[in-house]
Structure 1
Amino acid sequence: DEEKDEYEKMKENVLNELKKTFRPEFLNRIDEIIVFHSLNKEHIKQIVSLMINNLSKRLDEMNIHIKVDEKAMDILADAGFDPVYGARPLQREIRRRIEDKLSEELLKGTIKKSDT
């Protein structure tokens, strides 16, 4: 399998770089090396969907229902993707663009429980 070969090659390259930097005593304490593949746009969209589903479940408990369309999910995926940090900024974007706005509207009274 080509993907498995690529993974093993990457793992071997990482180990070789570690050997150049760290002493054998330290390396002997490392049990395993795990190489993570970079996230692509489709992965980020799937993560957005999972995060929105989790948010929706939390809001359902307060009898508040949200619907996030595909375009909004694409906007969140674009804004929350960082090639260096992966999906980490995504949670901040969801909090800033959705959760914070909902909180403000709840405090103002423009959104009430059982609203959609």
Structure 2
Amino acid sequence: QMSPNFATLAKIGSGLTVIVTAPGHEVDFVSRFFEGSIIVPEDPVTGSAHCTLIPYWSERLGKNKLNAYQISKRKGELWCENKEDRVLISGKAITYLKGEINI
């Protein structure tokens, strides 16, 4: 249980991120990801954050395959594997946006 102060996070400004984790009951660990932005103060499911969290929890729990749960408002479950120099992440997803980028 935690209630972040989004007004304080917004004052800190964009570019600063805060990741909070804890051991899980039905999963290996839970997390929340906050960014000092008024537009999107809490990211619903953050794959990039789990690229740093998985090696940490893998070492702490002594296993390479982990089940993680991001407890944002939208929530998301991730199945992850720590593989030496990389982290594999999978989970359910929906198409949010389709487009084309010209460089």
Larger Cα-atom Rg: 1
Q: TM-score, normalised by structure 2?
A: 0.27
Which structure: greater helix fraction? 1
TM-score normalised by the chain length of structure 1: 0.25
